[in-house]
Amino acid sequence: MTPASHTDWMRLALALAERAGQAGDVPVGAVIVNGQGQCIAQAENQRQRTHDPTAHAEILALRQAGMALGTWYLTECTLYVTLEPCPMCAGALVNARIGALVYGASDPKAGAIASVIQIPTSPASNHRFPVTSGILGEECRELLQNWFRQRRHSP
């Protein structure tokens, strides 16, 4: 059996993002894969549904992964997320000691990996991890743009 590729995992994250958008949340999805290539967590944004400002897809997936592994050290895990993490989520990735990050669309307004600020490579950061960006980036960007466009034109 061939291991799933970055594109395969990002497609799963996109499906989760679509579900978030249909439920009224900003369409962002996240998947965490362990070192053996198994999905151990998946989540989508739920801020609107839960009235929780911290209920970003990344945070919810990190919580699930910690529970699944019985530890908050996620050094052997890769997080796949459809949008570049914000400062809160980037900080959580550093604190979780995530093994790697793969994201789809850049976030020119709040991206805290490369776009606006660079939390993982900051001298103040106590953990570094490899980052891959742009995986299914156009699809991720289009999903977000269409969702916001529909919101602006809805009565």
What are the residue numbers of the active site?
58
101 strand-pairing partners: 79, 131
Q: Which residue has the tokens 């307004």?
A: 109
Starting at the edge strand that comes first in sequence, how are the strands of the sheet with 39-44 ordered? 39-44, 29-33, 78-83, 100-105, 131-133
